[in-house]
Amino acid sequence: MKKTNDQQDAQWPTAEQAREQLRKAIMQEELEHAFRLEVVDRLMTDLKIDPASFGELWIQPLIAAGVSLDVALLCIAQSHHWPN
């Protein structure tokens, strides 16, 4: 059976390329997480609310609905940063 050009061109990345891709992905995730925390911090400052109350009023209902803390922070950050 003859290989097509697509099969011949498809190659696994080298170890160095894989490390670089992983490093970039980790950096991107860390930047996104830091951005979410910054937006949430700004929201708490704007609302003049303490972290415990913020968690009780904003975070806990989302966690009770079944989302993770990261998803809860993402939802809050997006809703504050990109209002309807």
Is pLDDT of 18 > 60? yes
**8-state DSSP, 32:** H
How much is the mean pLDDT over the chain?
85
Residue 66's pLDDT is what?
Answer: 96
Reduced to 3 states (helix: H, G, I; strand: E, B; else coil), residue 66 is coil
The residue assigned the tokens 């809860």 is: 72
Residue 80's pLDDT is what?
Answer: 74
Q: Give me the half-sphere count of Cα atoms (radius 13 Å) on the Cβ side of residue 78.
A: 7
Taken as a whole, the chain contains a residue count of: 84
Spatial contact of 62 and 75, defined as CB atoms under 8 Å apart: yes
Residue 40's pLDDT is what?
Answer: 87
Average pLDDT over residues 2-25: 80
Is pLDDT of 77 > 80? yes
